[in-house]
Amino acid sequence: MRCRKKATASAAVASLPDDILANIHGRLSLLDRLAFATVFRASCAALKPEMPWLLLRGHTLETATLFSLSDRCATTVSAPKPALCHHVVLGSSSDGWLVTADDQAKMRLVNPVTGEQRVLPAITTITCLFEQHGHFMLDLKRFGRAQPHRV
């Protein structure tokens, strides 16, 4: 019976007009917005885009700090190992996923909020990149002609 009440309540909130959902979303804190987006995925398409967050080093190796530019507040999350410990961030997506790499060019895809992560092919497998003086450089001549990596 309890699960049925929860499902009914979720359905009722999800059926609210988009402008009301956007108003609710705009009043939530960073962590509450994450929970809101998880529960009401279908309704989130109508919400205004969130400003990016900054991922900062935490006070310990086991933590990271997420700073919301729109809320001007920070929250501490567990730093998923190994994807955030001793890794640099190479890129990110609007869905909160980060591409990180360690000093051996091993790349990972990580969601710092959920801790979910995936191993990616090594950066050395990207044919339009080459190493020079300890850094990876983009070969612009080959960039447009690079073949997609097959896993």
| pLDDT computed for residue 1 by the predictor | 44
Mean pLDDT of 71-81: 81
* Average pLDDT over all residues of the chain: 74
Report whether 75 contacts 63 (CB < 8 A).
no
Nearest to 49 by CA among 20, 73, 69, 65: 69
**Residue 34 pLDDT exceeds 50:** yes
| pLDDT computed for residue 2 by the predictor | 44
**Residue 3 pLDDT exceeds 60:** no
Checking 40-44 for CB contacts under 8 A at 24+ apart, the result is 40/10, 40/13, 40/14, 42/14, 43/14, 43/16, 43/18
- CA–CA distance, 141 with 146 (Å, rounded to integer): 9
How many CA atoms lie less than 13 Å away from 9 in the CB half-sphere? 7
For 133-151, how does the pLDDT look when each residue is reduced to its tens digit (9 = 90+)?
877 777 777 766 655 555 5
For 83-117, how does the pLDDT look when each residue is reduced to its tens digit (9 = 90+)?
777 788 888 887 778 888 888 878 899 888 778 88
Q: Which two tokens stand for residue 1?
A: 């019976």
